[in-house]
Structure 1
Amino acid sequence: MQTPTHLPVDTIRTAIPDDTLLVEYFRVRDRILVCLLGKKTLEILPVTLETRVAGFLRLLQFQLSKFRLDRQYLERFQDSLVRATQAHLKELYDELVAPFAERLKARHLVFVPHGLLHYAPFHALFDGQAHLIDRHTVSYSPSASIYALCQTRSANVSGPSLVLGIPDPQAPAISEEVQAIRRVLPQPEVFLGKDASEDILRSKGPTSQFIHIATHGHFRQDNPMFSSIRLGNSFLSLYDLYQLKLPVELMTLSGCSTGLNVVAAGDELIGLARGLLHAGAQSLVLSLWDVHDRSTAEYMRAFYGFLQQGKSKAEALREAMLHLRASYPHPYQWAPFILIGKA
């Protein structure tokens, strides 16, 4: 997966379950089109103009960026902030989903974004009555071919759960997050601060079933291959990820994103996902924006708890979102995480 992989349509179709629909976007000049691909479905439809989506996405990013303001402001204006964010999620729904919404009969949707759409939280898009995640389970993929490859990829079905946490003054809640998930993950092996080193990841990662890394990321828009995630004693670059062997069932990075206030086309996110998938991970949970507070700890505790109850990854992530939304109604807190790969 270090270089683009293209599989024939028939090969991709054999990997798609009956209750799943791939929703893949692509662009022709300024026009955005969508390909709906299922076991027995193949349709290509015009959707909207990229310039329109770019404007609505900037408005959503602006609303999400308000969570960097004073906590008292957020508490005082919580209801109006939720309404404003839902209005922008409705605008994006009307542009990106409404033109073919009646065709979305599948229980599970796999979104394959393109360009700036890599920063669109499709699972949180709002039709005026419900978010997409209320009606479907949702996952993502860098491409239809990578989705198909992940469905047949073997991964560790047993082994320890490796948890690495690198707290700092900007993200003090990482310690709370690590302590929360160690109580629900099977066979947890936890390393904090300087102990959460690259050597630990290289030595213990290949035999782990789950890997969870709570940290910050540094992204190089000018050269995505030198984007990196912070470990206890070093930075692990995207180039380094390509050299790792991590055949895990699930790898979660709860703090690696550029944040929606950064103007980028999504290539860094694609690169990070490709690097982790190239290392052998069957599935990934990544964040579209940074949320390092108590909501993240509760989110991850709920997610892994539902996973241990036997739910699929997509079902567990959906249940965690709905659980968190009851206490944290703003999408900034309940909708930052996406599932990539096998659902």
Structure 2
Amino acid sequence: MWSERWRATALSAPPTRPPADLALLTGMTAYREIAARAEEARMEGRPVPALEREQRRLEREIRSRTLHMRGETPEGGDRFDVGRLLARLAEGDDGQLVELAVLDGRVQVLLCGQGRVRRFEAGLLAAAETEAEHVQAGLRRLAHPGAQARLPVVEAAGRRLEELLLGPAAAHLGSGPVVIVPPGRLHRVPWAVLPSLRERVLSVSPSASSWLRARETAPPPGGRQVLVRGPGLATGGAEVPVLAGRYDGATVLEHDDATVPRVLRELDGAGLAHIAAHGAFRADGPLFSSLRMADGPLIVHDFERLDRSPYRIILSCCDTARFATVGADELLGLVTALLPLGTAGVVACSAPVNDAAVVPLTLALHKSLDTGLSLAEALRDARAALPPDALHRATGWAFTAFGAA
């Protein structure tokens, strides 16, 4: 499939982990300390130019060392095979994968499922991007109480966005699960806002190859649960103590225990990780996108040091599902970095959300996971379990299940 070869140059490659390098580890520790000091100074209103200069210098060193290191690839990469994709889709409940491509400025919908690939033509990409920004702006407003009147506006924008992105293909999705593979310029679309996708099992993947890899990733033995809450959350990560009572024997890291080295040690090879921590997206350096821990930022480069990333990860705060577009049509960010490292599924957020409304959503999500559902199935049921007001509906729409677990 030409569209699959065009996108995801790096995502189609086998996972690569840098070998142990003392200079790199020392540099990342120094970077974390400087970034933490800069954040503390900003919060206190103190000037930070010197700290920012040092942070940028350390970023350049880390980027340079990682670009020139020879990684260890335990397995060879596979060429994309449409037949293998269709066979995997047939194993589910009549599921379909929708890969969106762009030709001459217009969205082309490749509907993969039921043993075939069908193409439909939808709307103009530029119009879809504009409508997606309107939806994002609406969700930001709905994250605050008192914006109930904006809900019909967001719903109307969702209907227009569906016509632009799916067009006539929306009538052929069937009733089974749907996997969306968007082009880079549409990575910020909150797909659950689209009417035909709101109440179904829905997941998103940066490429069909990435979805296949996630679909074929086996869970680790033991299925350990790790619960992390970082500093400065409006709710204090209120769902974490409740989840600690749900999962007997789960590792709970909070307060001074939620340091980057300790968190990485516990995450390695875990079956399920729930991380309640402030997310920061870096458009100028997506691999420096981070989650705030007690001792500073946990960045994408840190996850690359794991022998195996957690099988399932739930990220319960803002900006954890944002990406930067690089290359032909490739996405870089926290989620796309996790999927090749052994993570089969991630739930993350692509829009600002109300922290208090996130708590019941994530608790309902875990309750559904306890019954054996996938992340996409559990997220659908969690949305349905929330109160029907605008605040909670917007919160549910802002979260997306990525991958296939």
* TM-score calculated relative to the size of structure 1: 0.87
Match of 1:43 in 2: 118
Let me know the Cα RMSD of the aligned residues: 2.6
The one-character-per-residue Cα deviations of 1:52-109 (angstroms, maximum 9, x if unpaired) are: 11221122122222246xx5xx32x41x111111111111112122421221114100
Residues 268 and 39 (structure 1), Cα distance of their counterparts in 2 relative to 1, 3 Å cut: closer
Quick check: 1:257 aligned with 2:264? no
1:116 is matched with which residue? 185
Amino acid at match of 2:82: V
Return closer, same or farther for 1:286/1:259 CA change in 2, 3 Å cut-off: closer
Question: Alignment identity in percent?
Answer: 27
1:282-293 correspondence runs (5 A) = 282-293=344-355
Structure 2 residue corresponding to 1:22, chosen from 55, 72, 97:
97
1:301-332 Cα deviation digits (max 9, x unpaired):
11101110222322211100111143556542
CA distance in structure 2 between the partners assigned to 1:31 and 1:39 by the alignment: 25
* Residues 264 and 66 of structure 1, relative CA distance in 2, 3 Å threshold: farther
For the residue of structure 1 that corresponds to 2:339, the secondary structure is helix
Aligned to 1:13: 86
SS at match of 1:183: helix
| 1:158-211 deviation line (CA, Å, top 9, x unaligned) | 33310110131xx32143121232233353211113311122222222242111
Structure 2 partner of 1:184: 246
Give structure 1 regions of 4+ aligned residues with deviation exceeding 6 angstroms: 266-269
1:163 aligned to 2:246? no
The letter for the 2-side match of 1:166 is G
Residues in 2 aligned to 1:268 and 1:215: alpha-carbon distance in whole angstroms: 26
Q: Secondary structure at the match of 2:283?
A: coil
Aligned pairs, how many?
328
Structure-1 residue corresponding to 2:260: 198
CA distance in 1, matches of 2:116, 2:321: 35
Classify the secondary structure of the residue corresponding to 1:43.
strand
TM-score (norm 2): 0.74
Within 2, Cα distance between the matches of 1:94 and 1:282?
30
1:211-252 alpha-carbon deviations (Å, 9 max, x no partner): 111111222212222222222212122222222233433111
1:133 matched to 2:198? The reply is: yes
Deviates more, 1:323-332 or 1:111-120: 323-332
Partner of 1:307: 369
| Higher Cα radius of gyration | 2
> What amino acid is aligned across from residue 128 of structure 2 in structure 1?
V
Q: Please, which runs of 5 or more residues in structure 1 have no aligned partner?
A: none
Q: 2:216 aligns with which of 128, 131, 152?
A: 152
Note if contact 2:206-2:336 (Cα within 8 Å) is conserved in structure 1: yes
Distance (Å, rounded) in 1 between the aligned partners of 2:391 and 2:353: 14
Q: Deviations over 1:126-182 (max 9, x none)?
A: 2xxxx5232x210111100111111111222533310110131xx321431212322
Question: Which structure 2 segments of 5+ residues have no match?
Answer: 1-7, 13-78
- In the alignment, the residues of structure 1 paired with residue 387 and residue 222 of structure 2 have an alpha-carbon distance, to the nearest angstrom, of 31
Match of 1:235 among 281, 297, 300: 297
